[in-house]
A = this chain, B = another copy of it.
């Protein structure tokens, strides 16, 4: 008789954003006259940049003709895309990468969920708290997290690094030594960042204790301040301890187009075994590449036009972020983020729990946000709004919140 993966049953409830979607759907059906504004899920709203659209049409035309038709993609992704990444995302910042240290994927969600697979069962993970749920949930499914204690909202074998107002929303080195450290800067959900000196300390720490940092830099394009690192490899020694995850979702609006990549330097080793070779094996065995036309679209993001157009999109969203941040601050809210990240993290008023505030905001202002507690126990009492709405909706949402 077959047996299921019992670890799945340990997961409390379903995935955060599915829960929100269900609540919003129910509210919408019960209140068809209300105009709901969604500043919850981190989904973009601007259409793809013209340069990307042109590339999609051009690549589609190539797929229509025998001589230019493309079948299976190379295991690591097309070299034309990996070259552009190496050049623009890394070399331009003083980081040299070999092309086979870059793995093209269908997005950072898949990569951040799958990367744990190349590690053994008995690694202890450390996560910021609050945190993007996929890091922990994928480790739960793999059986690496012990048991869930509903009283604390914590897994017994996970090391939590609280990121709250008290820590300036940055993690501190944990008391217990972790094996795998998930870091995300600019941060989802708090919108906070660390400067280069702070990140260097994490790299030094990881090298010292023999930990791997899984560095999620999905929001890199939103950095506006000088001293904030765009890639962890700007830090000395990062190549022997860090894996970096990147996404086209937020820098080029690819949430529904799906493209991302992972960098694993060959120097990152356990004894003689390079993690690069393990991930290459996974990529070759369990994945068949991102679509050619999507990879071609990704390349267009690095063209002069593409860069200009996507920068304009980011400026649009960051203007929304400013509207949210300033609007909330003027109403007396305690707010972080919104400067180097498209997320605004607010302290709920009147000691409401995160879900209480979610329900309150949905009912009274018809605005959807994300309950901070959904990102971890230290997120309780906080709430995330995103800058990915339209400008008009963002302004209206903030007006409604101000009126409450």
Contact = CB atoms under 8 A, between A and B. Distances in A.
Interface in A337-385: none
A71 B291 CA distance: 17
Given A48-B63, A110-B288, A286-B110, A293 B257 contact: yes
A47 B72 contact: no
B69 A292 contact: no
B285 A134 contact: yes
Contact of A293 (B56, B122, B278): B56
A47 B75 contact: no
Interface string A272-310: 010100100110111111111110000000000000000
A287 B73 CA distance: 19
A404 interface: no
B45 A8 contact: no
Given A3-B179, A53-B60, A210-B2, A71 B256 contact: yes
A118 interface: yes
A37 to B, nearest CB: 15
What band does the interface of chain A fall in when counting residues whose beta carbon is under 8 Å from B?
Answer: 35 or more
Interface string A27-38: 000000000000
Stoichiometry, copies per complex: 2
Contacts of A44: 71
A212 interface: yes
Given A138-B286, A291-B258, A4 B275 contact: yes
Nearest to A275: B4
Given A57-B57, A281-B14, A255 B71 contact: yes
A210 B138 CA distance: 28
A153 interface: no
B18 A46 contact: no
B281 A119 contact: no
Interface in A93-108: 106-107
A46 B69 contact: yes
Nearest to A56: B60
A123 interface: yes
A9 B2 CA distance: 26
A209 interface: yes
A281 B72 CA distance: 28
14 contacts: A3-B119, A4-B270, A44-B71, A47-B69, A48-B63, A60-B60, A63-B257, A70-B256, A106-B288, A255-B288, A256-B292, A257-B292, A258-B289, A293-B293
